[in-house]
Amino acid sequence: MNFKTRPMSDRLVNFKAEFFKALANPLRIRILDQLRTEELTVSEIRDRLEVELPNISQQLSVLRSKNLVVGRKQGNNIYYSCSDPTVFKLLDVAKEVFNNHLIDLQKTLNEL
């Protein structure tokens, strides 16, 4: 075993685990989806998702701690955006997997 490559591999695995933990909350995914095309304030996110402000703030804090969103202060507002748009590719692939599961389920139901 090459010990020089193992630590990087462990770091990568740990990064992936932490990354997916950050996405493990439905509200966080909904927030990211809102940030797909534009920057938004906490209030704008709250209005779009119809969720209490403290919940939005709490989930944004988690997303910030995992470097998935960044904030930009302008006047009295902080505008949030996704720090790495590549995350949307992952969310889109997850949607494809979901759709594939639905198709498989539909096929199974039709066979019954």
The domain spans of the chain are 5-83
- pLDDT tens digits along 20-52: 999 999 999 999 999 999 999 999 999 999 999
Q: Which residues, in sequence order, are CB contacts of 10 under 8 Å at separation 6+?
A: none
pLDDT of 5 reads 54
Q: Note the pLDDT of residue 56.
A: 97
Q: What is the CATH T-level fold of the domain 5-83, as seen in this structure?
A: Arc Repressor Mutant, subunit A (1.10.10)
Question: 10-residue block means of pLDDT along the chain (112 residues)?
Answer: 64 91 95 97 97 96 96 96 95 90 78 78
**Strand 69-74 to strand 77-82: parallel, antiparallel, or no bridges (unpaired)?**
antiparallel
Q: Which residues contact 90 (CB under 8 A, 6 or more apart)?
A: 23
Q: What pLDDT, on the 0 to 100 scale, is given for residue 52?
A: 96
